[in-house]
Structure 1
Amino acid sequence: MKRAFFKALVKLNNLVMPSLYKKDPMKLSTIQKGVLGFRYWALTNSMK
């Protein structure tokens, strides 16, 4: 059930949140770093 929740969260992230994969992480603002971290956290939990 936990994995299904995170898979749904990742799909929602892909639709709603901006894609930051082409940007340099060192040049991102604090909010963009937070978004990137949240997306990474949700993705890694959906794969466990």
Structure 2
Amino acid sequence: MKKKFFKFLASANKKLLPSYTKENVDLTKASKLQMAIFAYKLWVTKNALD
């Protein structure tokens, strides 16, 4: 059940949130909001793959 929820979140994130890797955003110069979104997407992806 948990994995299914995170897979749903991952698909929603892909459609709704920006992709900073495709935009070539330098993570050392990213704003706090960009870093928070990046960390959230990373956390969701990690949990979807477990």
Q: Which category describes the TM-score, using the shorter chain as reference length?
A: over 0.9
The correspondence for 2:40, drawn from 34, 38, 41, is: 38
**Structure richer in helix, relative to its length:** 1
Match of 2:11 in 1: 11
Q: TM-score, normalised by structure 1?
A: 0.95
- Alignment gaps of 5+ in structure 2: none
Q: Find the residue that maps to 2:18 and give its secondary structure.
A: coil
* Runs of 4+ in structure 1 over 4 Å off: none
- Alignment gaps of 5+ in structure 1: none
